[in-house]
Amino acid sequence: MSGDGTSERSGRWSEGRVEPPAEGARSGARPEKLSGDGTSERSGRWSEGRVEPPAEGARSGARPVKLSGDGTSRAQTVLRTVVLAAGAIAFLFPFYYMIIGSLQAEPDPTPTGAFPDPSNLTLDNYADINSRIDLLQGLVNSGIFTGGVIGCTVVFGVLAGYALAVLQWRGRGLTFALALLVQVVPFQLLMIPLYVLIARDYGLADTHLGMILPFAINSTAVIVFRQYFLQLPRDLFDAARVDGAGELRLLRSVALPLVRPVLVTVVLITFIGPWNEFLWPFLITKDASKQPLAVSLANYISNVAATAANPFGAVLAGAVVLAAPAVGLFIVFQRYFTSSNIGSGVKG
């Protein structure tokens, strides 16, 4: 017997009973060597009263696949990068071709025109279209029209969304249902009544206010603000009301700082609509000095482009001027497309 009362042939005496020796000792097999975590190289690992089989790679001798930090293999990462790069090139190529076409002195509609001769690049197309239409005045008119629509959309959208989400009043559900119903009514169906109302009754033809009024309230912005206000913790508003804050103070000091991401989102989404709008400004304005750039470009294409030395390049030059502010605005504000941790101000 050994020092701890264990016999190599008969087993171990523990608490008045004889335990049989281990299988390896009874058969004469050499005991397996265990690692620091109790893992046997041949039989597996002893964990919580059970023996786990060894890993598939250890049993078959295969080499384990190396994974990246997010749990994907290197091949998957390369494939994803290639797919995303191909998609980015497909989306960016029209912008690249528009810029190249606006700089060409002689138009080249063939596929080789995407890689032009540097000697064929010039700024004459921009000078040509600027001599026919005032690009700067068109940009100013588009800016006034778009800025007015964005301002009204944000102000009325925030107020209506806050009232539909936070305040308790009779008819709130019906009002929200009407806001949803407006989404299915096309603007073209209301265009003639709006033209009669604004141009004939209000006398706002050939004015910036006449262009802005039909787009002052955007039901989509109201719905977006309502859904975002519903996510705000009620404890924040209750705590501010206990401190004596009114609803306008709650909206200005509590709600608005927490909805900055959606404010930027609504501004960027709303910007594209009035900036590219053609039909309503074309109907309500006859004075060329009041028309936005999109309407001026359409008039140029239909009336003047045929007499230009390079109509194709001049039209693309105007398109570049029209698209540049929208693309620049998105590039500057794309980092604000993030969600804020709105629950961090509530304890517990």
Domain limits for position 177: 137-345
Amino acid at 150: I
Q: Are residues 164 and 302 in the same domain?
A: yes
**Segment 185-234, tens digit of pLDDT:** 888 888 999 999 999 999 999 999 999 999 998 888 999 999 889 888 88
CATH number at residue 238: 1.10.3720.10
| Of the residues 120, 145, 179, the one at which a domain ends | 120
- Residue 88 belongs to some domain of the structure: yes
Domain count along the chain: 2
Rounded CA separation 190/182 (Å): 11
**Segment 270-315, tens digit of pLDDT:** 998 999 999 999 999 988 889 999 999 988 888 776 677 788 888 8
The average pLDDT across 62-81 equals: 72
DSSP 183: T
The residue with tokens 């519903």 is 230
Q: Are residues 116 and 148 in the same domain?
A: no
Q: Are residues 159 and 110 in the same domain?
A: no
| Of the residues 92, 120, 148, the one at which a domain ends | 120
Q: Are residues 194 and 90 in the same domain?
A: no
* Average pLDDT of the residues of the chain: 78
- Residue 272 belongs to some domain of the structure: yes
- Residue 181 belongs to some domain of the structure: yes
- Residue 7 belongs to some domain of the structure: no
**Distance separating the N- and C-terminal Cα atoms of the chain:** 62
Angle separating helix axes 135-165 and 311-333, nearest 10 degrees: 40
- Residue 131 belongs to some domain of the structure: no
Between residues 95 and 33, the one the model is more confident about? 95
* Neighbour tally for 164: CB within 10 Å: 21
Q: Are residues 226 and 98 in the same domain?
A: no
Predicted TM-score (pTM) of this structure: 0.70
